[in-house]
A and B are shown apart, each in its own frame.
Chain A
């Protein structure tokens, strides 16, 4: 456990190294990035193997930082942090593998990439709101450059929109935290201290603070109607950045909602709860419907991310221990699945076909030309639909159970989201990969690998080993979790018993 803060330092060091070495050799930068990501992931995994869930929040570092404001460099981890740390390591490693083909300014790319990762690790480890905020912003800025420089369609617009939304969200957070700190006469920014300070105010102020902080974090989590940055940003981003954005960065927002915002004031949360829940539900359904009619393959995945994050937010809004544990599970699950989907779309398909128009892809026999990509996408798509056997299912199931406990109507509305997810996922699977299959007549079915039947399309470069490794890594994770969600649930649920969450989480496992 005690090595966990090293994930931050390792990532930042790796960023500097990649920057330094990248001007000389692109391959060296890649190797540095891969080793850095692997090391950090290894640290999280070794901590996970020794993690004792019952121990609650485990202190890692706690030193005075800015005594004038009572700010301490305070890092700690519990089961929720650990879940997301492991996810970060996994997504980061896979992201490096899927960025193996970056040739332009490779060193700088990986430097920014690792800086982002370092910030993300920092957020998940912070036990002081100020520290969390600092890492949070560190994670935002590299995104702009990653997208604006290495991205694709409309990249400068997408990058700017994404960063401005994120930053506006963080401004709300800052405003809320400062309000609580100043008006409540807090002596510092540790979570309990802020909770106490908020508690000293009247309900109107508490509600205002909670609304600001929650909304700020929820912006990054893609909450309707503040989600519009997500699809454009995801589409514009280079593959690894989309993977990280959807996979990890959106989780920062949700994590902030859970760790910082919600505990601030149980009374105010009760006031806001229905609004948050309905916004989450609208997000689930609206983004799903929009995904259903997209012409751009990546936009479908982008909107699907918003829809799935809606489930996370709904789980949080339901605010009982089963729903919230489902929300955290969904964060992990969506992180892996969205990463996989973006990897297939952005890296495996787009970089070979140079189109993401579904109409154009429909004309290509992709299941024959890129069978590996097709199989991976089908599996990832099924996982994304919430099909049992993959990680999305236990997550959505627990969220539905929890939502039902709080308000059955929410669960009912969210269940329609499950249906819509199935619709748009199947649509892209069918159109993008199997577009012109099955045309040969009733008994003239497709032929996957019969080379004689290949059409006269120039063969695409084969799927490279880093792509395969990354895809298998993520697929393995989603299937493993689908079959054994216990692994994470057993970390998450004890963490929700801690005093910080106890006040807001009603009910629990019956």
Chain B
């Protein structure tokens, strides 16, 4: 093993900045800021953002240098883009912190968020089963904590616990699957696993491994039928945590998943583009995807709680994203990344608006949003952008994401097989989805505010974050090539 430590350090500068940033936040808080409660949030926020900015800059400029450190990491355009993306999303989520006034330990929150981001960036670049698992667990464990961070709220505790239990079980499945893969191929490197499996052909053991891996990722991605934790977690977690769980975590997870399935298990993909279907992971993913689309959209119809509604919407989007995973190996990861990244932006934005509103009172039910256009035109406008993007209305990014993913899936074989049918199904369900998205907007833009509604005062950082997210959604929707050309 010829280790290139210089290259490794060069490549992992973002992670270094993040970890250092986390430590600095904790130390500064412990030594200085905890005695100045008025500024405690702001100090943590500022330090966290600085470290995220440095990491983001480093990630964006790191360059796609290929496999490094004996293939432990893969620095291709996808990992560059993903690392930059998750850091940006984490920064946006962190910017919501000042409005989450009930969180009593902002420094710890910031530090854990930075650790989680470290996990995400590592997931984005991992090319080794072990690294991948460690990165995933780093991120997951951090997220469990973040979800339960609001100690004053029983829902938050419930969210943390539920997330932990489901996540832990998923990790077990995943680890079992990974161990089987290692046993089959004798290597942890994804590209080598791919080569080995291509020579071996499908074996029963491989099938078992595949199922384990898919179940594990199903839990992590909140895809049906492994989605049960998502509504409770989205409902209970503090807004910045929920934003992070819904956005950066999903982006990093999907990229890792894609990397595992395509370079790693690409030979066992099977076909669903044409009939007859041949066995592999693609049919299973397609099943999960279809179930998620159906369950997510139909479940969302029944929700009166805005956070649970967003959770079901997330499930349905996971279904669409999984379709993108199926197509990614054939038609490129551009559409998938674009979709996942812009979806992250919209959920960060949506939870951002909820978080900002929570400074003025609880936001759970849809009716809590009533009259938002009066209480805060800015928030209402941003929410309109986010929700319409989620609904897939052009020219917002959400539309083009779906468009690109569906187009790439159809390019596999048109409507000749289940893949194409799933796309038609997804397109049809997007019309259903518009219904519940409009329910949100109806409250926010049409309904009159409740009599006792307090005025909303949004912090500067959250305002900027929301404007950045909304601006990016519009801009990327108008110029999707800015992202697609990265690949």
Contacts and interface: CB of A to CB of B under 8 A. Distances in A.
A156 B413 CA distance: 41
A147 to B, nearest CB: 10
A163 B394 contact: no
Interface in A146-186: 148-149, 156, 160, 163-164, 167-168, 171-172, 174-175, 178-179, 181-183
B442 A171 contact: no
B393 A160 contact: no
Contacts of A66: 400, 479-481, 484
B410 interface: yes
A272 interface: no
B455 to A, nearest CB: 16
A149 B445 contact: yes
Contacts of A134: 394-395, 399
Interface in A68-102: 68-69
A172 B423 CA distance: 11
A148 B415 contact: no
Interface in B371-429: 373, 377, 388, 393-395, 399-400, 403-404, 406-407, 410-411, 413-416, 420, 423-424, 427-428
B440 to A, nearest CB: 12
A201 B430 CA distance: 27
A258 B484 CA distance: 33
Contacts of A105: 373
Interface string A33-77: 000000000000000000000000000000001111100000000
A181 B411 CA distance: 8
B471 to A, nearest CB: 14
Nearest to B388: A141
A133 interface: yes
A181 B434 contact: no
A179 B404 CA distance: 13
Contact of A182 (B393, B410, B438, B441): B410
Given A160-B438, A205-B414, A205-B415, A178 B394 contact: no
Nearest to A185: B411
Contacts of B302: none
Given A141-B393, A144-B438, A149-B445, A175 B424 contact: yes
B395 A174 contact: no
Contacts of B435: 160, 164
A137 B394 CA distance: 6
Given A66-B481, A183-B415, A175 B438 contact: no
A163 B434 contact: yes
Given A148-B442, A181-B407, A164 B399 contact: no
Interface string B308-337: 000000000000000000000000001000
Contacts of A178: 403, 406-407, 410, 423, 427
A208 B424 CA distance: 12
Contacts of B427: 171-172, 174-175, 178
B446 interface: yes
Interface in A7-52: 23
Given A68-B334, A160-B438, A175-B427, A138 B395 contact: yes
Given A68-B334, A163-B434, A145 B446 contact: yes
A356 B423 CA distance: 45
Nearest to A144: B438
Contacts of B451: none
Interface string B29-65: 0000000000000000000000000000000000000
Interface string A127-148: 0000001100110110011001
B393 A68 contact: no
Given A68-B485, A137-B393, A171 B428 contact: yes
B410 A67 contact: no
Contact of B415 (A65, A144, A160, A179): A179
B414 A182 contact: yes
B431 interface: yes
Contacts of A138: 393-395
A69 B445 contact: no
Contacts of B403: 174, 178
A145 B441 CA distance: 9
A141 B480 CA distance: 21
Interface residues of B, number: 38
B407 A69 contact: yes
Given A164-B434, A167-B431, A171-B431, A179 B394 contact: no
Contacts of B400: 66
Contacts of A137: 393-394, 399
Nearest to B338: A68
Contacts of A67: 481
B347 to A, nearest CB: 20
Contacts of B442: 148, 156
Contacts of A145: 441, 445-446
Given A134-B395, A167-B431, A181-B407, A148 B481 contact: no
A148 B438 CA distance: 10
Contacts of B399: 134, 137
A351 B133 CA distance: 67
A137 B399 CA distance: 10
A220 B268 CA distance: 44
A167 B434 contact: yes
A179 B414 contact: yes
A137 B377 CA distance: 23
Contacts of B434: 163-164, 167
A148 B446 contact: yes
Given A149-B446, A178-B407, A168 B395 contact: no
Contacts of B377: 23
Nearest to A112: B445
Contacts of A65: 481
Given A68-B481, A138-B395, A144-B438, A182 B407 contact: yes
A145 B393 CA distance: 14
B410 A179 contact: yes
A46 B84 CA distance: 50
Contacts of B479: 66
A212 B99 CA distance: 47
Nearest to A141: B393
Contact of A163 (B415, B438, B481, B485): B438
Contacts of B428: 168, 171, 175
A277 B299 CA distance: 39
Contacts of A160: 435, 438
A172 B425 CA distance: 10
Nearest to A212: B424
Nearest to B380: A108
Contacts of A133: 394
27 contacts: A66-B481, A68-B480, A68-B481, A69-B404, A69-B407, A134-B394, A134-B399, A137-B393, A137-B399, A141-B393, A144-B441, A149-B445, A149-B446, A156-B442, A160-B438, A163-B438, A167-B431, A168-B431, A171-B428, A171-B430, A171-B431, A172-B427, A178-B407, A181-B410, A182-B407, A182-B411, A201-B414
Give the 9 A-B residue pairs with the shortest CB-CB distance, closest first. A183-B414, A182-B410, A168-B431, A134-B394, A68-B484, A182-B411, A171-B431, A149-B446, A175-B427
Interface of B: 334, 373, 377, 388, 393-395, 399-400, 403-404, 406-407, 410-411, 413-416, 420, 423-424, 427-428, 430-431, 434-435, 438, 441-442, 445-446, 479-481, 484-485
Given A178-B403, A182-B407, 8 more contacts: A108-B373, A134-B394, A137-B394, A160-B435, A171-B430, A171-B431, A175-B423, A208-B415
